[in-house]
Amino acid sequence: MNHCVPETKIKKSLKGYIFVCTRNTEAECFERLLFGSSKAYGSPVLKIRKGDVLFLHNLDTNTVSGVFRAASKGNLNIEPDAWSGKYPYQVKFDTLENKICLNSAKRILRKLEWSRNVILSGSKLSYLLDMFAYEAASLNDLLLRRRVGSVGESKDIKSEEGSPPIEATTLWDFSKQSYGINPKGDNKYAGVTPALVIYNLLWKYTEPGDLVVDPMCGSGTTIDVCKEENRKVIGYDISPTRDDIIQNDARKIPLEDESVDMVFIDPPYGDNLKYNEHPDNIGKISSDSIQYYDDLEKVMIESHRILKKGKILAWLIGDQWLNNQFTSVGFRTYERLRKHFEPVDIICVSRRGQSSHTENWINRSRRLGFYLRGFKYLIIERKSLRKQELAEE
């Protein structure tokens, strides 16, 4: 069996993925003809399709072996007992007669600017295949692809598509509203949600196939991210902006009790922005008023009702400075959430692309002695079994 990819088979759509192993896990890969990854790197694995090119990087021996072909699409728990369940994002691969191992793998991968979430394509994939062709040059049938440069040349290596890394701290700062090739939501929509907020929540607190609900879906960012990351999703809004958003008031969600795996909410932060013309929009209520928090609490109660036990509610909220008055919207929202949920964490999300983040507003804040809003709170809460039991006693 040919161990590399013939030139006639290299297509523009062909992708490559590098799995990682150690001395302890490599043998099981080849016994099972299975590569696996942890949840932190699960997103790119689920993008693998049958026929894609695979490699294996052994961290202990500093080698990268290949070239393998995906014999299945990437999926969750193809073999649940593999590696004692530690690496559930998996793909089957074809066995090979001639496995090639390249030494100095770290040096090669540094030249590729590779990271665990990168999917190889184009010049990066071509470059790595060149390395294997060079190693196996004595085999006349290893004409891999149209060349972009000789082996060792890196001038044509460009950044390729991949999956964003999972955030590791409680400070999230995203330079763009969206990520990847396809847009998520509408970056011109008032108060649009950063797509990577949804992405990180999905890969931290849900699994592929889980149901995510966004009761205030806005321009549909949650829907777009969930579809790309293999989650089921329902998006509601009191004034839908597109056909796949269901018209509904978040204060009464038309779903069964304990039927949802995660709820994400990015509500209006008061009446400082015009969201739509609907008369019942919570965004028409001032965040200085008790009514605003009373209405948000109705959404919290409904979210608690539809969530399964132990599942997550994530609530993105920002404070307000309006008419020379500061309103701690985040703290007041957190107080209401604590009546119904168990706290998990609070993330600080940097505010970018704000209409007030202009040179004129920056100079005005310095001159008049107030601060522009620089961050939002991402409040993460859990529906607790114990709290529910206490409420029933």
pLDDT at 21: 95
Query: Is 49 a member of any domain?
Result: yes
CATH number of the domain encompassing residue 213: 3.40.50.150
289 Cβ contact partners less than 8 Å away, ≥ 6 residues apart: none
Question: Which one is predicted more confidently, 347 or 180?
Answer: 347
Both 119 and 246 in one domain: the answer is no
Query: Is 265 a member of any domain?
Result: yes
Evaluate whether 114 touches 18 at the Cβ level (below 8 Å): yes
Both 11 and 82 in one domain: the answer is yes
Both 178 and 96 in one domain: the answer is no
pLDDT at 356: 59
Q: What is the pLDDT of residues 127-172, one digit of tens each?
A: 888 888 766 554 334 334 333 333 333 344 444 456 888 999 999 9
CATH number of the domain encompassing residue 114: 3.10.590.10
Of 135, 158, 190, the last residue of a domain is 135
What is the share, in percent, of the chain residues with pLDDT greater than 70? 84
Domain membership of residue 20 as a residue range? 7-135
Both 130 and 180 in one domain: the answer is no
Summarize the confidence of residues 174-182 as an average pLDDT.
Answer: 88
pLDDT exceeds cutoff 70 at 391: no
pLDDT at 154: 39
pLDDT at 187: 85
pLDDT at 9: 43
Both 102 and 203 in one domain: the answer is no
Both 130 and 196 in one domain: the answer is no
Q: What is the pLDDT of residues 224-238, one digit of tens each?
A: 999 999 999 999 999
Both 308 and 387 in one domain: the answer is yes
Q: How confident is the model at residue 70 (pLDDT cuts 50, 70, 90)?
A: very high
Q: What is the pLDDT of residues 313-326, one digit of tens each?
A: 999 999 888 777 88
pLDDT at 62: 94
- Cα–Cα distance for residue pair 108/103, rounded to 1 Å: 9
Of 135, 161, 196, the last residue of a domain is 135
Query: Is 1 a member of any domain?
Result: no
Query: Is 52 a member of any domain?
Result: yes
pTM passes above 0.75: yes
pLDDT exceeds cutoff 70 at 388: no
Summarize the confidence of residues 5-25 as an average pLDDT.
Answer: 72
Q: What is the pLDDT of residues 337-356, one digit of tens each?
A: 999 999 999 999 998 866 55
Encode 293-317: b = buried (16+ Cβ within 10 Å), e = exposed: bebbbebbebbbbbbeeebbbbbbb
- Cα–Cα distance for residue pair 255/213, rounded to 1 Å: 10
Both 93 and 202 in one domain: the answer is no
Both 70 and 216 in one domain: the answer is no
Closest by CA position to 352, among listed 156, 154, 130, 191: 191
Query: Is 149 a member of any domain?
Result: no
Query: Is 165 a member of any domain?
Result: no
Q: What is the mean pLDDT of the chain?
A: 84
pLDDT exceeds cutoff 80 at 359: no
Of 135, 154, 179, the last residue of a domain is 135
pLDDT at 352: 80
For the ranges 104-108, 136-140, 326-330, 353-357, which has the lowest average pLDDT? 136-140
Looking at the structure of the chain, the number of domains it has is: 2
For the ranges 120-129, 133-142, 171-180, 331-340, which has the lowest average pLDDT? 133-142
pLDDT at 46: 92
pLDDT at 31: 94
Evaluate whether 300 touches 379 at the Cβ level (below 8 Å): no
Question: Which one is predicted more confidently, 72 or 389?
Answer: 72
- Cα–Cα distance for residue pair 286/176, rounded to 1 Å: 29
Q: How confident is the model at residue 374 (pLDDT cuts 50, 70, 90)?
A: confident
Both 199 and 86 in one domain: the answer is no
Query: Is 146 a member of any domain?
Result: no
Both 232 and 363 in one domain: the answer is yes
Query: Is 264 a member of any domain?
Result: yes
- Three-state secondary structure of the chain: CCCCCCHHHCCCCCCEEEEEECHHHHHHHHHHCEEEECHHHHHHHCCCCCCCEEEEEECCCCEEEEEEEECCCCEECCCCCHHHHCCCEEEEECCCCCCEEECCHHHHHHHCCCCCCECECHHHHHHHHHHHHHHCCCCCCCCCCCCCCCCCCCCCCCCCCECCCCCCCCEECCCCCCCCCCCCCCCCCCCCCCHHHHHHHHHHHCCCCCEEEECCCCCCHHHHHHHHCCCEEEEEECCCCCCCCEECCCCCCCCCCCCEEEEEECCCCCCCCCCCCCCCCHHHCCCCCHHHHHHHHHHHHHHHHHEEEEEEEEEEECCEEECCEEECHHHHHHHHHCCCCEEEEEEEEECCCCCCCCHHHHHHHHHHCCCCCCEEEEEEEECCHHHHHHHHC
pLDDT exceeds cutoff 60 at 390: no
Summarize the confidence of residues 6-29 as an average pLDDT.
Answer: 77
pLDDT at 97: 61
Both 101 and 201 in one domain: the answer is no
